[in-house]
Structure 1
């Protein structure tokens, strides 16, 4: 008759315990890594504010001085009304306006012609512009006189 000694079961039980511990560790870390985050992500530190050097900025923009003076010119001298299609009863329509000598573009009533100027309304010979569609008109563009001969 063959009897098993306790020395033979000890390594088998120790191996089984180590494999069970490794499996439990794998399950724990798998669940831990696949779980959604429980709190908000840490915020990154905001960078320090950059201080602008006014003299360097003036030197940089010196080449743009002409463009700045053109923007300072009154809007009436910068905008030219070249054509319009006014719906006298409906209050809608479109105007063909050239800005700063560039090719003219069509603008519908309510469209922004440039920052701070919206095409408010049209008549047969003029376009009224202002800061808001429903506000007071600050600029009125007239159609140029027809060249006759």
Structure 2
């Protein structure tokens, strides 16, 4: 066994530093295996989303336009550039269609939006489903755009 003189700094700090290094390695190993079992691998990537347009019934649009209650311009503007503007990153939804969604608008970082909240000018998060967000021009209007998360890959 090694014996160091009591006045040496090595005698005081070597056991403490050795213990610190061993515990740091143990924590790193535990964190690695927890992440492996949780399914997290590598840096997060922005998943592509599928885009599905659902325009309102043509007869309903014509009737509303004839009565002067709703103009069709916001819906057409929403449908025209929606694929480039909105990216769905995540959804937390209940069976009632309430919840929140992570949506990136115009290439910015994703933000959380609740159902009924304005996502962009003239665009409202209408309702949610598992792995799906539905957008419309108004909170009570017809769904004009559906954003889908990509299907899960098999393990």
Taking structure 1 as the reference length, what is the TM-score of the superposition? 0.47
Greater radius of gyration (CA): 1
